[in-house]
Structure 1
Amino acid sequence: MAPTPPSRPRLPLRPLLLSLPLLSLLLLLLIHRPHPSPPPPLLATATATRRDDEPAPRRAASSLAPKATTTTTLAHVVFGIASSRRTLPLRLPLLRLWLRPPARAFLFLDGPAPAAAAASEPLPPNLRFCVSSTDASRFPYTHPRGLPSAVRVARIAKELLQLDDHHHATPPPPRWLVLADDDTAFVLPNLLHTLSRYDWREPWYLGARSESAAQNAWHGFAMAYGGGGIAVSWPLAARLARVLDSCLLRYPHLYGSDARIHACLAELGVELTHEPGFHQIDLHGDISGLLRAHPLTPLVSLHHLDHVYPLYPGMDRATAVKHFFRAANADPARILQQTVCYDHSKAITVSIAWGYSVQVYKGNVLLPDLLAVQKTFVPWKRGRNATDVFMFDTKHYPRDECKRAALFFLKSISSGEGKIKSDYTRQLPRKCSPNLIPLRNLHQIKVASEPLHLVPGKALRRHCCDVVSSSSETNMDVNIRKCKEDELIAMHS
């Protein structure tokens, strides 16, 4: 028989009954306790820190929500362009070429616009003339080599924000201020793509340095050069406008307007974010070497086009720029993008600067050698003390034309069935006997590609290309395509 288990000790009944009401009261308090409301969303922080390729977080509907979530468009971009009565007639054709609605532009002059300025062709509907109101006596200028107009140009960043035009309900309120010279040409879709990568509500200062190491050493490595364009987010531009005049009084010794703007932004605690698509072009002569080795970043701007040779041989400057923008308008994201392919069967290397030129080399040229910039140009500052040092990798360009690659320049461009076809014709060397001309029978190259679409937040990768097997000794067909996942851009045996 199993032993009887010991009985548990009994609790006193009276204390237990007395504790029941207290326990019930505590239970009711826990059930009916008010839950704390969630903290308000940190709109600016969340927007500024999320990746560009992530969707915006959902927010409760409010009057501010549409403005916070809408995509930045060209209607949100305002240009402040520095010009003068003297240069305006020369620069209006360039402005007509690239400036178009819905972007807005204010062109600041040193006096009323000459009556004949718009006589030949109508002005862009989104361009407004303004007369700078700088009182030179208020802002001393002491730089021995510069122009006092630099103060007037710097104050565009203040005077433009004092205008009423950008406060109208239509078009939308500005998000970006872009400062530039009247001889700067922009590829607007690429500018928009670049700006869209940044939260306009944050204090952004975008641009690029000079190509010349000597110019940077003289004027500064930390500033955006004004000819290439300076992009400032609108809230930062408003802060800059409020303090600009006091800054100008402290920097009479600086050379240009861009140096003064940089100094004021530095005092506001903002540094330059370098965007290599902006191009100051502090170079002279033939800049084809620079254009043929453009970085993967989209081309945003070109400056000093009247200080260099025409972009395409056999054309004047104006015609060459129009020809260039035909290609840029056909596929803005791909313009000047370098694509390299190798044909092992023919032992040739093909380097394409889309919309501009094609080079064909005999033999295997390694990709890093093709990515370096050929020194076809000369420094901006010439003379005994000029330095031949630049802000990118350079490669010697043979003086002997017989030792250069076969060179082709854009002739025409067309599109259809989702493809863009660009044709390039041979520029034969002038000082080379026929039997020494490399690939002398090759006269035309046709390149087929699909439009290149850029997505903010997505990494850029160079495209690949194939030489079509049906190509002949006189004509070559090339197809540009996306590279496969593990594909190498190299000569394969």
Structure 2
Amino acid sequence: MKGNGTEKLLWDHMRSPSGNPVSVSAVPSRVLTKLLVFLILVISVTYIIYTLKLVSTSSPCHQQGSFNSYHLSPSSSSRTSNITVAAVQARRNRTAQVVRLEENRKSPQATGLHQIVFGIAASARLWEQRKHYIKVWWRPDKMRGIVWLDKPVKTHKDEGLPPLKISDETSQFPYTNRQGHRSAIRISRIVSETLRLGMKNVRWFVMGDDDTVFIPENLVRVLSKYDHNQFYYIGSLSESHLQNIYFSYGMAYGGGGFAISYPLAKALDKMQDRCIQRYPGLYGSDDRMQACMAELGVPLTKELGFHQYDVYGNLFGLLAAHPVTPLVSLHHIDVVEPIFPNVTRVEALQRLMVPKKLDSAGLMQQSICYDKPKSWTVSVSWGFAVQIIRGVLSPREMEMPSRTFLNWYRRADYTAYAFNTRPVTRNPCQKPFVFYLSTARYDPATKQTVSEYLRHQVPHPACRWKMPDPAGVESVVVYKRPDPHLWDKSPRRNCCRILPSVKSESMVIDVGVCREGEISEI
């Protein structure tokens, strides 16, 4: 009841004398409106004053300053600006350095001959005979390397040979192969011993034998394709399938030569002596090297220009159909016949060096063309030999080596080679007329090499084919423009063209890069 009386009293106060209810919000509403207007004016004035103060105390933004920075005072402005500029400049320097390193990585300075170090395995017993092979290709003023011998030998001044050193003792390493010789251990350590000499600016170590002949310019061309800062083990296989089966299809044969990048040589040096201890039963030096490469996890990178030449007899078939790749090395010079007839082995190699000096990239490269009016097939192995054959033999046949050589295993037949071959023809009419290199020179007027090839005077069987007889041709003259960048492009055989000749006893041929649409066809 008390609560109801109170409510009634409040209700009476809220009524006007006329009896109408009084508005509760009439007076407070006007007060609130004035309060809001006042607050808005205060905020607006404060914002204007703050903005004017900010504009009057700020300096112009520095070009390299931060976009969201402002300065509280002249001194702090200067310090902040300097710090910001230094930070931006440091970032730019780091970015430029990264870009330069990336550009150097993508296009490093080309490998030069002075950055290759040769390790040549030799024996005192054969040194007097085989040192002449090294003299043929060695250039003392431009090359670095060591000949590693098992015993001291007599030396003479100014022989034009690399320095001679005696290999370290290897009697502490076991050797149990009954068919081999323990000198294989000494030879397998040549790369490591050469590395320990501490030569500067070395990119590659190249291993070879004392009867290995290198074409140094082509060696540089091949190695320049690879990043010397990575692990690379580069070489080639044997020509004998049985040799590759017995040893390994993943092994570089040391006689043909192989190359090891500098970082890989350093890694090899750290573990090779331990590695050799684990393989006492292996036969030679190159299979020991490959065993250590397998432990390092580095496969063989195959380059077909390294030639082991595990064959006997005449290399003509192999050289006249050289693969489309730079000629890098020749091996087993003592085992095969001289590459040019009627001269000594050394004289034959010296003759090969004449065209090598004119156009090393094109040395031994094959070109195939046809004398259409006479129906002759012509094959040019530039700097070595030219063949003229009656009839038409396809390029597919001509690029296969003819079997003028014998297998390393004398009882093996033609199926024991690690590449395709073709038999020496039994048809007397298709016995090739061979013209060997006689002279070569460079003609500065035409900017071409001029090489002459003379017919090898051997009996030819009678032929009943009714077509012109190549026996009437006594010489072949070949014109070729040197192309030092031949191997910078995708591999392709050069093309040759039969040119008109004023002399019936002479054939003239032009050899060069194939023209647009030009192919070897008749």
Shorter-chain TM band: 0.7 to 0.9
* 1:392-407 matches, cutoff 5 A: 392-399=419-426, 402-407=429-434
Counterpart in 1 of 2:436? 409
Counterpart in 1 of 2:180? 146
1:361 equivalent in alignment to 2:389 = yes
SS state of the match for residue 175, structure 2?
coil
Which residue of the other structure, out of 64, 68, 71, is the alignment partner of 2:110? Answer: 71
Counterpart in 2 of 1:470? 501
Tell me the number of residue pairs that the alignment of Structure 1 and Structure 2 aligns: 447
Q: 1:302 to 1:401 in 2, by over 3 A?
A: farther
1:290 equivalent in alignment to 2:321 = no
Counterpart in 1 of 2:451? 422
Counterpart in 2 of 1:59? none
* 1:73-222 matches, cutoff 5 A: 73-100=112-139, 101-113=141-153, 115=154, 117-118=155-156, 122-124=158-160, 127-136=162-171, 138-164=172-198, 166-167=199-200, 173-222=201-250
Shift of 1:429: 3.4
1:237 equivalent in alignment to 2:265 = yes
Shift of 1:19: 9.6
Shift of 1:42: 7.8
Shift of 1:434: 8.3
Which has the larger displacement, 470-479 or 298-307?
470-479
SS state of the match for residue 307, structure 1?
coil
SS state of the match for residue 345, structure 1?
helix
Shift of 1:398: 2.2
Q: Any unmatched runs of 5+ in structure 2?
A: 1-38, 55-60, 70-83
Which has the larger displacement, 302-311 or 454-463?
454-463
Counterpart in 2 of 1:265? 293
User: Counterpart amino acid of 2:518?
Assistant: E
Moved over 3 A (4+): 12-22, 27-40, 42-48, 385-388, 399-403, 433-438
SS state of the match for residue 310, structure 1?
coil
User: Counterpart amino acid of 1:112?
Assistant: P
User: Given that residues 366 and 493 in structure 2 are in contact (C-alpha distance below 8 angstroms), is that contact kept between their aligned partners in structure 1?
Assistant: yes
Q: Any unmatched runs of 5+ in structure 1?
A: 1-11, 51-55, 57-68, 168-172
User: Counterpart amino acid of 1:154?
Assistant: S
User: Counterpart amino acid of 1:337?
Assistant: Q
1:454 equivalent in alignment to 2:454 = no
Shift of 1:438: 4.5
Which residue of the other structure, out of 376, 379, 393, is the alignment partner of 2:404? Answer: 376
Per-residue CA deviation, residues 91-137 of structure 1 (Å, 9 max, x unaligned), is 11111110113111200111112x2x53xx83226x1111011231x
Which has the larger displacement, 450-459 or 205-214?
450-459
Within 2, Cα distance between the matches of 1:14 and 1:146? 107
Output the aligned Cα RMSD: 2.7
Shift of 1:485: 2.3
Shift of 1:402: 4.8
Q: Using structure 2 for the length normalisation, give the TM-score.
A: 0.79
User: Given that residues 326 and 487 in structure 2 are in contact (C-alpha distance below 8 angstroms), is that contact kept between their aligned partners in structure 1?
Assistant: no
Larger radius of gyration: 2
SS state of the match for residue 125, structure 2?
coil
Q: 1:367 to 1:246 in 2, by over 3 A?
A: same
Which has the larger displacement, 269-278 or 435-444?
435-444
User: Counterpart amino acid of 1:99?
Assistant: W
Within 1, Cα distance between the matches of 2:369 and 2:47? 87
Within 2, Cα distance between the matches of 1:293 and 1:19? 92
Shift of 1:443: 1.3
Within 1, Cα distance between the matches of 2:405 and 2:41? 103
User: Counterpart amino acid of 1:351?
Assistant: S
Within 1, Cα distance between the matches of 2:196 and 2:354? 36
Within 2, Cα distance between the matches of 1:364 and 1:233? 46
Per-residue CA deviation, residues 158-210 of structure 1 (Å, 9 max, x unaligned), is 1111224x14xxxxx11110011000000111111111111111111111011
Within 2, Cα distance between the matches of 1:400 and 1:324? 31
Q: 1:362 to 1:110 in 2, by over 3 A?
A: same
User: Counterpart amino acid of 2:166?
Assistant: V
Shift of 1:345: 2.3
Shift of 1:397: 0.7
Counterpart in 1 of 2:344? 316
Counterpart in 1 of 2:519? 488
Within 2, Cα distance between the matches of 1:456 and 1:273? 18
User: Given that residues 401 and 429 in structure 1 are in contact (C-alpha distance below 8 angstroms), is that contact kept between their aligned partners in structure 2?
Assistant: no
Within 2, Cα distance between the matches of 1:442 and 1:431? 13
User: Counterpart amino acid of 1:153?
Assistant: I
Q: 1:387 to 1:446 in 2, by over 3 A?
A: closer
Counterpart in 1 of 2:98? 41
Within 2, Cα distance between the matches of 1:14 and 1:331? 94
Shift of 1:153: 0.3
User: Counterpart amino acid of 1:409?
Assistant: Y
Within 1, Cα distance between the matches of 2:387 and 2:43? 97
Shift of 1:489: 1.6
Within 1, Cα distance between the matches of 2:117 and 2:180? 27
Within 1, Cα distance between the matches of 2:502 and 2:138? 40
SS state of the match for residue 471, structure 2?
coil
